[in-house]
Structure 1
Amino acid sequence: MPNPNAGLIPHYPIAVPDPPTWPSLGPEDKAALKERIRRLLAERDAVLVAHYYTDGDLQELAEETGGYVADSLEMARFGSTSPASTLVVCGVRFMGETAKIINPEKRILMPAQEATCSLDEGCPIDTFGPFCDAHPDRTVVVYANTSAEVKARADWVVTSSIALPVARHLHDQGQRILWAPDKHLGRYVQQMTGADMLLWPGSCVVHERFKGFALERLRRLHPDAAVLVHPESPADVVEQADVVGSTTRLIQAVAEMPNETFIVATDEGIFWKMRQQAPDKRLIAAPTAGVGATCESCAHCPWMAMNALQNLEAVLLAGRPEIEIDPAIRERALLPIQRMLEFARERGIGRRGAAD
């Protein structure tokens, strides 16, 4: 379905940072650093929550200390049930903001509060708000990868694990949708549900890099491999997938499918959990470039890479800066998030072991 208003939305060039270079740590130094962080977590009454796209050391430490490794929907849920007074969010800023929106009484710390997201950056409230005002007949549905201000303007917040069920629900009610910010995920949802959707033209700088023609060539080299794709990827990549789904769904697929080899089109940070769940499976990163490129597969978010053991220790030592949100914005942003979580609870969506 064409998007007649897409050309009216300004394009926001995203300044993508170079991935940070952290000093290499030998086994003894790393073990000592992790032990200091464990001690600090206990002293600060803090729990560590890490996204699947962060470094494997952080994911491992989160699980070892009673924290959680998850996608953004499960991170939101865990933060609301943990008794800890401080949540340390290893991810990008919108994840820390979401934790604060749901848990205003808790201290929210992030190792890299400056870590943002291309989807968030490409959908600023000063343009998105007027765009919504110009289409008052549409239900505003925004992806979780957005600022607190954009969430506060929405009717629904969704993650990739719940986007399809929510869109089907709204479509069945006869509602027309204004979707932001990821155009690839929006197009996929639109195609799968038949919903009337007006798409904001944003994209993820990581998933945008996957190349359909290069993936087709790789599939010929590995004809028995199953192709796992996140729906933020371009259409010619999604069309070749055996499984299209959220990070949690793709991890489940590696563990459950009989294939020995998988080609994975999402951030390479997911490989740590996939190898933990299915150590005997062979994982191949989907290509992000064509013939002659210096990097055939470079799918790792530079903002996620800003999280490391070193700045995790630093933020625990300092106890700041905290994530802060204007109370009025927080109250408005909480409503569409609560709507999503209640919808998920009613339908058993997103819990590990449940369908995404």
Structure 2
Amino acid sequence: MVLAEATYDVPRTAVITAARPRLGDAERAALVSRIKRLLDERDAALVAHYYVDSSLQQIAEETGGCVADSLEMARFGKEHSASTLVVAGVRFMGETAKILSPEKRVLMPTLEAECSLDLGCPADAFRKFREQYPEHTVVVYSNTSVAVKALADYVVTSSIAVPLVEHLRDQGKKILWAPDRHLGDYIRRETGADMVLWDGSCVVHDEFRSRELEKLCNAHPAAAVLVHPESPREVILQADVVGSTSQLIAAVRERPESEFIVATDNRIFYKMQQAAPGKRLIEAPTGGHSATCHSCAHCPWMAMNDLSSLADTLEHCTHEIFVDDAERVKALTATQRMLDFAAAHRRRVVGDA
């Protein structure tokens, strides 16, 4: 394994706009009603990530939208008939929707919701890094800008990264991976692929600590440990299940344990509780002597998506995503390869079942 020699400073906390006053029940109900009306009037579908506030996830469910991981968000937005997509998540998710659906208007509750992985992999620096490895196949995580995706051979999400890299390994390919080093290291260990890794990390998952997790496991010995692969290796090694957000939700539903310690953004609990309402969910620790709790298990940028900002966006059609068309075309090639591979992989898995 080789890490990029240069590292790039990323703010450890997001610059968050002033917090809005807490909504009362009547005000919340009025906003929800207004949002539903505007979604219908704008011919818009709400596509929400598992990490945004549960109120937004609920609206997406109730209006025929989508609550999903980034792979399914991309697929849903492309296939839906709505002329406008409203993406509740972080900027790269809105950009991905625009890559796949250039004819559609793509709005977001805020354009200030960034991602530490995206910010930590600037396109110019990544281009120079890529030039050092001209024989490598470039695979980038979806948590990157359009400009970085335009430099890639494949885009992947965490749910499809391991089988895709296995496929490339079997073809004798060497892999240049960006930007999350923990996910890249996990993929390398799972596949045995020859990989060069960019040195990036997620502001949420990088904060989980093995020492505190071990203490929590000792206090709950019957609990299964679920870990997202953006977490540090020492945390991953303690897991009963390592997987994407959708895979972790499936584990809560399908596994026999009644308790689960969950090492990912805590807003995923909304869908986990729906999947298995009788089971107990416990947050993995981001505090303690060996942790600093920069994020406290919730992405501060995801938290910028709220009912008020969603209603304002729909009312005024603001916060629209635009991308450079030349970059979009290049990024589309790598992104479409992911979708095509995911569809073929799904058919193989179902056929083997």
Relative to the length of structure 1, the TM-score reads 0.95
Cα separation, partners in 2 of 1:28 and 1:100, compared to 1, 3 Å: same
Corresponding residue for 2:8? 11
Identity across the alignment (%) = 60
Deviation per residue, 1:133-154 (Å, 9 max, x gap): 1210000000000000000000
Cα distance in 2 between the residues matched to 1:293 and 1:97:
33
Corresponding residue for 2:318? 320
Cα separation, partners in 2 of 1:314 and 1:349, compared to 1, 3 Å: farther
Q: Is there any run of 5+ residues in structure 2 with no aligned partner, and where?
A: none
Cα separation, partners in 2 of 1:316 and 1:19, compared to 1, 3 Å: same
Cα distance in 2 between the residues matched to 1:84 and 1:333:
23
Counterparts in 2 of 1:28-107, with a 5 A limit? 28-107=26-105
Corresponding residue for 2:284? 286
Q: Which amino acid aligns with 2:29?
A: A
Cα separation, partners in 2 of 1:263 and 1:205, compared to 1, 3 Å: same
1:191 to 189, 192, 199: 189
SS at match of 2:47: strand
Query: What is the aligned residue count?
Result: 351
Q: Is the 8 A contact 2:149 2:331 kept in 1?
A: yes
Cα distance in 1 between the residues matched to 2:186 and 2:42:
43
How far the C-alpha of 1:77 sits from its partner, in A, is: 0.3
Question: Are 1:207 and 2:205 an aligned pair?
Answer: yes
Moved more, 287-296 or 272-281: 287-296
Q: Is the 8 A contact 1:228 1:263 kept in 2?
A: yes
Q: Which amino acid aligns with 2:336?
A: Q
Q: Is the 8 A contact 1:344 1:350 kept in 2?
A: no
Cα distance in 1 between the residues matched to 2:347 and 2:213:
30
How far the C-alpha of 1:297 sits from its partner, in A, is: 8.3
Q: Which amino acid aligns with 1:42?
A: D
Q: Is there any run of 5+ residues in structure 1 with no aligned partner, and where?
A: none
Relative to the length of structure 2, the TM-score reads 0.96
Q: Is the 8 A contact 1:74 1:350 kept in 2?
A: no
Q: Is the 8 A contact 2:208 2:286 kept in 1?
A: yes
Cα distance in 2 between the residues matched to 1:349 and 1:225:
33
How far the C-alpha of 1:22 sits from its partner, in A, is: 3.0
How far the C-alpha of 1:349 sits from its partner, in A, is: 7.2
Question: Are 1:234 and 2:232 an aligned pair?
Answer: yes
How far the C-alpha of 1:112 sits from its partner, in A, is: 1.1
Cα distance in 2 between the residues matched to 1:62 and 1:136:
43
Corresponding residue for 1:263? 261
SS at match of 1:348: helix
Question: Are 1:118 and 2:81 an aligned pair?
Answer: no
Cα separation, partners in 2 of 1:354 and 1:39, compared to 1, 3 Å: farther
Cα distance in 2 between the residues matched to 1:25 and 1:272:
19
Corresponding residue for 2:170? 172
Cα separation, partners in 2 of 1:335 and 1:65, compared to 1, 3 Å: same
Q: Which amino acid aligns with 2:21?
A: P
Cα distance in 2 between the residues matched to 1:280 and 1:354:
32
How far the C-alpha of 1:101 sits from its partner, in A, is: 0.4
SS at match of 1:216: helix
Cα distance in 2 between the residues matched to 1:14 and 1:285:
24
How far the C-alpha of 1:13 sits from its partner, in A, is: 3.0
1:338 to 315, 336, 351: 336
Corresponding residue for 1:138? 136
